Amino acid sequence: MQLPRKVIIGNSILKNSGEFIKNSEQSINKIAIISGKNVKNKIAGIIEESLSESNLQFEWVIAKEASFQQVDSVTSLLNDRNISLIVGLGGGRCIDLGKMIATRLRVSFVSIPTSASHDGISSPFVSLKGNDRPYSIKADTPIEIIGDLDVISNAPYRLIASGCGDLIAKTTAIKDWELARDHNNEYYGEYAAKLAQLGSRMVIDISKKIIKNEITAQLTRTIVEGLISSGVAAGIAGSSRPCSGSEHLFSHALEYITENKCGLHGERVGIGTIIMARLHNLDWLEIKDSLKRIGAPTTSKGINVDKDQIVEALLLAKKIRPERYTILNRLDISSSKYQDILDELGILD
């Protein structure tokens, strides 16, 4: 079981990041910061000043794409640089890259998210292009997570709404896990399941407090804490089961079909959760209404896909990861039946 040693969340804490990082390990030779160009331009000064004040050596690596090719090239670049810790600074792309590079180099990883778009900020899983499997694979868990709420709050609202979609997806992920326990004799972790489930219920409650796509500082903190807890649940379970079920398989299938031109991760799984909740005979309307209030897409138009692509993704989903037992394994649904269900749910524009 790999879990973060420390989680630090607060306002204007990036200026203390050097101290936090220095205290995360007994001895640090040099740090490599994996970041995007825009993020570096915005907050490099704060990070560099804090690291320098803590007498930490560092170098920047600008991430071009979230791919295994990029992992290979950066790992090769850093292999003889005496790096003892990797920092992933930015959104999901840079954090996943940093996580995988740290795993390859066998050094510690610190996650500093600049947005709250999905639970990868704390989980031991990464999703990168170039993998022969269109879903997440295991890496090492961050030893520390530093979440500056001022920075995260300044990210586009769409990213926070996407994070809510990823959290609400735990509703169906847990139901799929229960099915796998009951029908496929799979390990089921009660504590990890309850922890992940807490995040999905929290989003439904939060949705009732949002007015005109405006989230208060306290709600932002709650969402960030929920995403971190969700990733920790995966670490406790030793698999992505608490966080990822049929709704994620649908999302991966849609990515594959559209060549990743289908909205953000949390947006796709949010729509997937509406559909899979219907298949599980859950209250899908509550989920849909919650996502609507948050401002997340609930229709095919909202993620730039058409009816045929949605149906194709639903048919393909259970083949994406055959060993992962979900509601899609229990039901044999035809293309025409899926179209009827999508009409019923109001998914198709």
- Known binding positions for NAD(+): 92-96, 114-117, 123
Binding residues: 92-96, 114-117, 119, 123, 166, 248, 252, 265
Q: Which residues lie across from 7 on neighbouring strands?
A: 145
CA distances from 112 to 13, 67, 221 (A): 11, 20, 14
Round to whole Å and give the CA distance between 240 and 320.
15
User: Helix/strand/coil (H, E, C) string of the chain?
Assistant: CCCCCEEEEECCCHHHHHHHHHCCCCCCCCEEEEECHHHHHHHHHHHHHHHHHCCCCEEEEECCCCEHHHHHHHHHHHCCCCCCEEEEEECHHHHHHHHHHHHHHCCEEEEEECCCCCHHHCCCEECCECCCCCCCEECCCCCEEEEEHHHHHCCCHHHHHHHHHHHHCHHHHHHHHHHHHHHHCCCCCHHHHHHHHHHHHHHHHHHCCCECCECCHHHHHHHHHHHHHHHHHHHHHCCCCCCCCHHHHHHHHHHHHHCCCCCCHHHHHHHHHHHHHHHCCCCHHHHHHHHHHHCCCCCHHHHCCCHHHHHHHHHHHHHHCCCCCCHHHHCCCCHHHHHHHHHHHCCCC
CA distances from 75 to 160, 256, 263, 323 (A): 31, 27, 29, 31
Binding residues for glycerol: 119, 166, 248, 265
Binding residues for Zn(2+): 166, 248, 265
Binding residues for substrate: 119, 166, 252
> Which amino acid appears at position 155 of this protein?
A
